[in-house]
């Protein structure tokens, strides 16, 4: 028996390109691990009407963690049109497998480190080292949505909120409602993970990024819970910032920030902004972490126009391996991989097109493997 069982889910488009790059580095790392391939993505939606087949769910239950590359998602009507003819008209609904994976396995922490590597020509500034903790299962992405607004839902809203009067003259067919549901436990656990991380990695601040002055109940709950947890960490300062102001501060003084924590949608936005400060999609990696399973991924999508060309930057994928190693407790290997990546970036000899180079995806992976 190997020490670890790790699922590899390349998915679609450039997902396959960057997973090939990952495998070069994994081979060099020579972990005591068994790697198993898992089906996920558009191909399986078209052929089977299910982009996240049950066999993949079952396989993941037997794994310690997984590496996921990227999948293609399309709007409802387009998704229906690409099903094989036998599956059309059966009312199958496409839902993003990565969102389902997060919910099904309760991967409630989305961890997004944004660190500027020295010599990266794409850095906005060279002194950025921040980490975003985004709640990954609740809030606006929980999928509790209505259109048209059902009569009983409407009645309940009218009964409980005087502010619904503003919509009195609007027909229910003309109202769409997406809910933003937070639970106390959901707020507590993401904030706690953020403080633990700050504590373990020596960050002096945790910034809670919400909007409690306007979204009083949900943002308010999260900020209040953050204040309570913060009291357990007297050596770490809790800063409170509104999401809109945070976007501005991140451009103005990105070096001021250490750990940021936010709810699902605000965290999504702020982590993409932060990622762009340190090189963008070619460098942005993330972990989706639960108590039982963790899935590590580059945050970019399947970039169909580059699929199979081995042109895109695999650094985000390789940094996802680094996050996985940290999570597994293989911290020496994680540090070695980060060092190898840093050296390849600093030397500037092997770069993909986004860094004004002409190396291939696999060239970069080989250069990193060689440093290892």
Tell me which residues touch ligand NAI (CB under 6 A). 70-74, 98, 281-282, 300-303, 305, 312-313, 316, 354
Q: Residue 192 touches which of Mg ion, ligand NAI, none (CB < 5 to 8 A by kind)? A: none
Q: How far is the CB of 73 from ligand NAI (least distance, A)?
A: 3
Choose one: 122-130, 219-227, 267-275, 324-332; the region binding Mg ion (CB under 5 A): 267-275
Joined tokens for residue 133:
């903790």
The DSSP bridge partners found for residue 66 are: 7, 295
Residue written as tokens 């969102």? 99
Both tokens of 254, joined, read 């990105």
51 binds, among ligand NAI, Mg ion, none (CB under 5 to 8 A by kind): none
Which of 63, 83, 86 lies closest to 9, judged by CA?
A: 63
3-state class percentages of the chain: helix first, strand second, coil last, to nearest 5:
45, 20, 35
Nearest to Mg ion of 210, 268 (CB atom): 268
What minimum distance in Å lies between the beta carbon of 298 and Mg ion? 11
| E strand spans, 243-293 | 259-262, 285-289
Q: Which of 263, 294, 271 is nearest to 106 (CA)?
A: 294
CB of 299 to Mg ion, least distance (A): 6
What is the nearest approach in angstroms of ligand NAI to the Cβ of residue 316?
Answer: 5
C-alpha span between 47 and 44 (Å, rounded): 5
Should residue 268 be labelled a site residue for Mg ion when binding is judged by CB under 5 A? yes
Nearest-CA neighbor of 317 among 285, 294, 351? 285
C-alpha dist (Å) from residue 68 to 37, 302, 312: 10, 11, 16
H helical segments located in the chain: 14-29, 42-48, 54-61, 76-81, 97-104, 151-160, 184-201, 218-230, 243-252, 264-277, 315-328, 331-347, 361-371
Query: What track of x and - describes contact with Mg ion for positions 213 through 252 (by CB under 5 A)?
Result: ----------------------------------------
Q: Which is nearer to ligand NAI, 254 or 301 (CB)?
A: 301
Pick from Mg ion, ligand NAI, none: which does 285 bind, CB < 5 to 8 A by kind? none
354 touches, from Mg ion, ligand NAI, none (C-beta below 5 to 8 Å by class): ligand NAI
149's enclosing H/E stretch is none
As measured in angstroms, the least distance from the Cβ of 146 to ligand NAI is: 23
Output 29 or 270, the one with its CB closest to Mg ion.
270
Q: How far is the CB of 305 from Mg ion (least distance, A)?
A: 19
Per the CB < 8 A criterion, the answer to whether 321 and 296 are in contact is yes
Rank residues 211 and 311 by Cβ distance to ligand NAI and give the closer one.
311
Q: How many residues bind Mg ion (CB under 5 A)?
A: 1
- Which chain residues interact with Mg ion by CB under 5 A? 268
């Amino acid at each position: 028996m190997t020490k670890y069982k790790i699922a590899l889910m390349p998915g679609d488009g450039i997902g396959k390109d960057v997973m090939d790059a990952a495998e070069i580095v994994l081979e060099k790392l020579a972990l005591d691990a068994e790697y198993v391939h898992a089906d996920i993505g558009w191909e399986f939606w078209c052929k089977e009407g299910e982009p996240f087949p049950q066999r993949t769910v079952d396989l993941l239950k037997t794994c310690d963690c997984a590496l996921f590359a990227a999948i293609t998602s399309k709007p409802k009507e387009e998704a229906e049109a690409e099903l094989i003819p036998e599956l059309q008209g059966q009312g199958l609904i496409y839902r993003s497998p990565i969102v389902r994976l997060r919910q099904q396995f309760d991967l409630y922490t989305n961890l997004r480190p944004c660190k500027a590597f020295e010599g990266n020509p794409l850095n906005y500034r060279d002194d950025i080292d921040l980490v975003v903790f985004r709640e990954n299962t609740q809030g606006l992405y929980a999928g509790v949505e209505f259109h048209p607004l059902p009569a009983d839902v409407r009645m309940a809203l009218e009964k409980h909120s005087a502010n619904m009067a503003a919509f009195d003259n609007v027909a229910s067919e003309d109202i769409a409602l997406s809910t933003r549901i937070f639970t106390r436990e959901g707020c507590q656990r993401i904030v706690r993970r953020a403080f633990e991380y700050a504590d373990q990695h020596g960050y002096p601040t945790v910034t809670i990024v919400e909007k409690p002055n306007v979204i009083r109940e949900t943002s308010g709950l999260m900020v209040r819970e953050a204040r309570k947890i913060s009291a357990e960490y007297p050596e770490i300062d809790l800063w409170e910032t509104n999401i809109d102001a945070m976007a501005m501060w991140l451009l103005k003084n990105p070096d001021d920030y250490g750990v940021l924590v936010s709810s699902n949608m605000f965290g999504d936005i702020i982590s993409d902004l932060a990622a762009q400060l340190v090189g963008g999609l070619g460098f942005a990696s993330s972990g989706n972490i639960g108590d039982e399973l963790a899935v590590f991924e580059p945050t970019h999508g399947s970039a169909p126009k580059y699929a199979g060309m081995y042109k895109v930057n695999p650094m985000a994928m390789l940094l996802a391996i680094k996050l996985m190693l940290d999570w597994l407790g293989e911290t020496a290997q994680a540090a070695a991989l980060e060092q190898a990546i840093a050296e390849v970036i600093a030397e500037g000899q092997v770069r993909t097109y986004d860094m004004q180079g002409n190396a291939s995806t696999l060239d970069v992976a080989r250069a990193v493997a060689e440093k290892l």
